[in-house]
Amino acid sequence: MISGHYFDDEQEIGPQALTLLRKVLADLFRDQTDNLDADAKLDLAKELVALFKSGFRSEEELKAMVQRSLPLDQGNG
């Protein structure tokens, strides 16, 4: 998981960006449904927001970056 902050934590996330983040998060949860407890899901959501705020803006980039940090490799994405 990402440690520390390397972005502006006060940066606002607009409606379109929030829709994107929700879609990516839903896809990741669906792919990992049996592998993540509630705390792991919260950590995943936090990491997704951190990645977005640090400059990753496409669905593909966000999914790829988060999947790299998942403890269990599903082999597909």
Can you give the residue ranges of every domain in the chain?
Answer: 15-69
pLDDT grade, residue 61 (50/70/90)? Answer: very high
Tell me what pLDDT residue 62 has.
Answer: 95
Long-range Cβ contacts of 56-64 (<8 Å, 24+ apart): 57/17, 57/20, 59/20, 59/23, 59/24, 62/20, 62/21, 62/24, 63/24, 63/27, 63/28
CA–CA distance, 63 with 16 (Å, rounded to integer): 17
Say whether pLDDT at 13 is over 60: yes
Angle (CA) 66-67-72 rounded to 5° is 130
Say whether pLDDT at 27 is over 70: yes
CA–CA distance, 6 with 71 (Å, rounded to integer): 23
pLDDT grade, residue 30 (50/70/90)? Answer: confident
